Amino acid sequence: MKFRPLHDRVVVKRLDAEEKTAGGIIIPDTAKEKPMEGEIIAAGPGSRNEQGAIVALDVKAGDRILFGKWSGTEVKIDGVDLLIMKESDIMGIVEGKPAASSKK
């Protein structure tokens, strides 16, 4: 991918939602909600403070994150559906589970 976000923006790939409920019921595609979990593909350098110095982001490429349901702008780059959002739209970093569990 040849895309570099600016300032405090990040590029996120949504991770696929669970196909089954805890009780084993398979959820059809039409009933699924968009997942609110994703992996950061790229991150900008950070925003500038009042003195003009760059404040680095708390997240980096490869982090698994949670974000709001309506956060970000949906784009398609190289045929892949991605989200571009500000770091402030990210609710937190999911630790413990690797982000590589997404389908390609």
Which stretch of 21-25, 80-84, 86-90 has the lowest confidence by average pLDDT? 21-25
pLDDT at 40: 92
Reported pTM:
0.71
Would you list the DSSP string of 8-65?
TEEEEEEPPPPSB-TTSPBPPGGGPPPPSEEEEEEE---EE-TTS-EE--S--TT-EE
Banded model confidence at residue 14, pLDDT cuts 50, 70, 90: confident
pLDDT at 104: 47
Domains of the chain: 1-17+29-88 (2.30.33.40)
Is the predicted pLDDT of residue 80 greater than 50, yes or no?
yes
Q: Which residues pair with 67 in a beta bridge?
A: 90
